[in-house]
Structure 1
Amino acid sequence: MENQNPTTTQTLNSDIISSLPLNIIEYILTRMPLRDALRTSVLSKTWRYTWRGMPKLVFTDDMVTMSSNHLCRELKKYKLVNAIFHVLMLHNGPETLVFDCSVGKLHLESDIALIISYLARRTKVKKLFFGSDDRSYKLPVSFFSLQGLECVHLYDCILEPPLTFNGFSSLTIFRIWDVDVSAQKLQQFLSKCPQLVNLRLAGCQKGIDFVAGENKFTFGDLLQCVPLIQTLNISKYYMKYLCAGGMPHKLPTSLAHLKDLFLDVCLVEQNEISSALCIIRSSPVLQKIKFLMSDNEKLPVQQTPSNFLDPEDYPDLKLDYLVTLEIANFSNLPLEMKFVKLIMAKSPLLKNVKIKLNDNVSVDEEMKMLKDMLRLPILRASPCAELIIDRP
């Protein structure tokens, strides 16, 4: 030990992490569960207040651990609410860039209004993730005063903008799952967020019977609200309602920025296939198409002309930037394969075509499909296009 190199000893004893720049340390802390990040305050005087500048605060149900009986759940809820306010009051970062409150199991709905109101007064939240476990919970009015929002993810709640809502001028990403919202309110909200580039509408059937009343909301209405859209993701039931009445051959205004399109589509429903084709035709810079085939195997196959979706009948369809086509839950219906052929024939830069088969497609059907492809090769505008068929 006496002959140990001093430089080696100094290296072993040095606190490499504490010597890192503060922004790097704060980033490391955000990669940890918040409870563990808070515990770093006992390491040393240097670390006592380091967590207070974290740019991301994520609160989850498991931050407070107790048994599952009713009284303990209420105590756990009380302790978690106190912990949230304690963290918010001590947090001294210039901004809370990300606030994630995914605590649906504890039913904090009655406290969320106070939490969001506090955020609106004290901090500038850029990203908000909020999950409830109560579909009857209405977002508080204070939510609509978070004017710095750039990204919002909402789960299981009611979205009802007040008449005084002036919009989120900086919001670029808006995603909702199982959110109850009327057609009128959704249109009102989207039309007042002019910078939206990423939109996802997902939900179960119960949550989106929002066009049953007088106010209809179609794809045409939706796309007029989001002129800068780059990524559009529409799930099964929203697709059915938005497609009501079909779509024109092409939209009057081009979706000049749309690059990524994700749709749940039932190709044997005329309104859905016409809507999907209309969006594709109207998107000159589209780079990725991803379809999840819904209910194709459950509905009777409709009679269509033999040349339906024939590439020669779509001279105006040009996909000069499309690189990727993915289709999941492929049922091996003739119409599905015609759609694949149409896209491959119109995409000169296409590289990846991936088809994920439905569980109901037998091995024999898959072999027959492959033989048919070899017997009648698919017309490809891109010689580099690689077709992959994948079984779940």
Structure 2
Amino acid sequence: MEYQNPTRTHCLNSDIISTLPQNIIEYILCLMPLRDALRTSVLSKKWRYSWEKVPKLAFTDNLAEGPSSYLGEVVEKRLKVTRAIRHVLTRHNGPTILELNFSVGQLKLFSDFDQIIIRCLSRQNVVKEVIFIIKDGCYNLPFSFFSLQGLERIHLQNCGFELPLTFYGFSRLRRILFTNVEVSAEMLQEFLSHCPLLDEVILNGYQESVDFASGGNKLTFVDLLRCVPLLKTLEVSKYYMKYLTAGGMPDKLPTSLAHLKHLHLDVCFMEQIEISSAICMIRSSPVLEKIVFLMCDNEKLPVQQTSSNFFDSKDYSDLKLDHLETLEMKMFNNLPLEMEFVKLVMAMSPVLKKVRIELNDNVSVDEELKMLKDMLLLPFPRASPSAKLIFVRP
């Protein structure tokens, strides 16, 4: 009689994947493309319905297999993806849908999205995060979207919206990320003012032709910041920056940005109105911990419009950066004003830990060496002598 190792026999007979805890199974499924997660139903009885409780649902063009080069194939694939999405949402019975991610390109399932949102509303599930990443075209959100009262995070790309007359706000919303979102100034201001817990605002735009606030009304930084008193993180890219600074800024905001910790701005140091607006926000942020400036268009303007002594430290004696730990300057062009700003921040930041300067590719090695010598050898006040100065080449 052949001898069998009991340990080996046990390992062969045991179903390892079925012994995994449910929370581990759900974590694994969240890391997989949704189409593959659905296929795990064939692994075992325990896995058969596990995908129905996954808290993160990401719908993409790849949800249905097959090429989509010709019109007929595109239509067929669109029907398959739509059926798959409706099937998933119908079968999903988790306590909460944490994330609904729709990343679509050529299929343009816009009318189907409207029905999907209504379907979400008809369920007891609470949708906490919605991501609409539209790669081709522009999706206008239906009025029903603004009834998703459980939303805490919204990410929109290449979308547009108008608020319904009955919009009462998102009482739980904390974060918005808008990229190329078409919305009037009046609508954006109305939207922000009805989200009382909003603490992270990111406004991105890739194309200068995108006017995120088209219409007769003008929105300034003063107007925008008044709507978000609990703001902790603000990130604004260059085309939004140019629009919001057009109305000008005072030396200091009428109301303090008492909670703002992270400030990320695309700034042109050749435009005094932009750097003045940035300084105004810094002045008005008593607990600021991190500043990130992306230098944009500095090399394109033929005439410097900001005075050379703009950052004279005597004019900034009231500037308090008692909590600032990090300063990052990206696409640094080695302009005198850029260097003077770095020195000003270093002189006013007693707990500063790191100054990271990412050089633009137009800065030569010789210029970099001269910058290093100037920063190390020329005397200038430093509130935090232990702050690390890091130069990074592209």
Letter in 1 for 2:209: K
Q: Measure, in 2, the Cα distance between the counterparts of 1:14 and 1:319.
A: 61
State the number of aligned residues: 391
Are residue 353 (structure 1) and residue 355 (structure 2) matched? yes
- Asked if the contact 2:181/2:212 (under 8 Å) is kept, the reply is no
Corresponding residue for residue 52 of structure 2: 52
Corresponding residue for residue 229 of structure 2: 227
Q: Measure, in 2, the Cα distance between the counterparts of 1:304 and 1:29.
A: 54
CA drift at 1:50: 1.2
Distance 1:54 1:306, change over 3 A: closer
Corresponding residue for residue 275 of structure 1: 277
> Deviations 1:130-159 (Å, cap 9, x if unpaired)?
122454431111111111000000010112
CA drift at 1:17: 3.4
Question: Where in structure 2 are the equivalents of 1:307-322 lying within 5 Å?
Answer: 307-322=309-324
Q: Which moved more, 1:140-149 or 1:298-307?
A: 298-307
Distance 1:209 1:62, change over 3 A: closer
Corresponding residue for residue 210 of structure 1: 213
Corresponding residue for residue 15 of structure 1: 15
Corresponding residue for residue 264 of structure 2: 262
- What is the aligned-residue identity percentage? 63
- Asked if the contact 1:135/1:179 (under 8 Å) is kept, the reply is no
> Deviations 1:211-259 (Å, cap 9, x if unpaired)?
5x43110000000010000010001011001001321111111111111
Q: Measure, in 1, the Cα distance between the counterparts of 2:235 and 2:161.
A: 19
Distance 1:311 1:94, change over 3 A: same
TM-score, length basis structure 2: 0.95
> Deviations 1:182-218 (Å, cap 9, x if unpaired)?
101100111101100111011122222625x431100
Letter in 2 for 1:367: L
Letter in 2 for 1:120: L
Letter in 2 for 1:33: P
Letter in 1 for 2:370: K
Distance 1:342 1:117, change over 3 A: same
Distance 1:325 1:71, change over 3 A: same
TM-score, length basis structure 1: 0.95
CA drift at 1:2: 5.4
Q: Measure, in 1, the Cα distance between the counterparts of 2:17 and 2:259.
A: 43
Q: Measure, in 2, the Cα distance between the counterparts of 1:135 and 1:304.
A: 39
- Asked if the contact 1:264/1:294 (under 8 Å) is kept, the reply is yes
CA drift at 1:3: 5.1
CA drift at 1:4: 5.1
Q: Secondary structure at the match of 1:17?
A: helix
CA drift at 1:378: 4.3
Distance 1:43 1:296, change over 3 A: same
Corresponding residue for residue 72 of structure 1: 73
Distance 1:351 1:66, change over 3 A: same
CA drift at 1:16: 3.5
Q: Measure, in 2, the Cα distance between the counterparts of 1:313 and 1:265.
A: 21
> Deviations 1:259-303 (Å, cap 9, x if unpaired)?
111000001111111100010011111111111011011113426
Letter in 2 for 1:266: C
Q: Secondary structure at the match of 2:128?
A: strand
Q: What is the Cα-based RMSD across aligned positions, in Å?
A: 1.7
Q: Measure, in 1, the Cα distance between the counterparts of 2:11 and 2:261.
A: 50
Distance 1:305 1:201, change over 3 A: closer
Q: Measure, in 2, the Cα distance between the counterparts of 1:303 and 1:199.
A: 29
Q: Which moved more, 1:153-162 or 1:372-381?
A: 372-381
Letter in 2 for 1:162: P
> Deviations 1:96-127 (Å, cap 9, x if unpaired)?
11111111331111211011111111132101
Question: Where in structure 2 are the equivalents of 1:235-314 lying within 5 Å?
Answer: 235-302=237-304, 305-314=307-316
- Asked if the contact 2:259/2:287 (under 8 Å) is kept, the reply is yes
Corresponding residue for residue 151 of structure 2: 149
Q: Secondary structure at the match of 2:98?
A: strand
Q: Measure, in 1, the Cα distance between the counterparts of 2:77 and 2:368.
A: 53
Letter in 1 for 2:71: H
Q: Which moved more, 1:102-111 or 1:49-58?
A: 102-111
Q: Measure, in 1, the Cα distance between the counterparts of 2:309 and 2:378.
A: 16
Stretches of structure 2 that go unaligned for 5 or more consecutive residues are: none
Corresponding residue for residue 102 of structure 1: 103
Corresponding residue for residue 112 of structure 1: 113
Q: Measure, in 2, the Cα distance between the counterparts of 1:342 and 1:232.
A: 22
Question: Where in structure 2 are the equivalents of 1:173-184 lying within 5 Å?
Answer: 173-184=175-186
CA drift at 1:63: 1.9
Q: Measure, in 2, the Cα distance between the counterparts of 1:41 and 1:158.
A: 37
- Asked if the contact 2:183/2:212 (under 8 Å) is kept, the reply is no
- Asked if the contact 1:174/1:200 (under 8 Å) is kept, the reply is yes
Corresponding residue for residue 190 of structure 1: 192
CA drift at 1:352: 1.0
Q: Secondary structure at the match of 1:200?
A: strand
Q: Measure, in 2, the Cα distance between the counterparts of 1:303 and 1:133.
A: 37
- Asked if the contact 1:246/1:270 (under 8 Å) is kept, the reply is no
CA drift at 1:360: 1.3
> Deviations 1:297-348 (Å, cap 9, x if unpaired)?
1113426555421223211111111111111111110000011111111111
Corresponding residue for residue 35 of structure 1: 35
Distance 1:70 1:4, change over 3 A: same
Q: Secondary structure at the match of 1:107?
A: coil
Q: Which moved more, 1:311-320 or 1:2-11?
A: 2-11
- Asked if the contact 2:99/2:127 (under 8 Å) is kept, the reply is yes
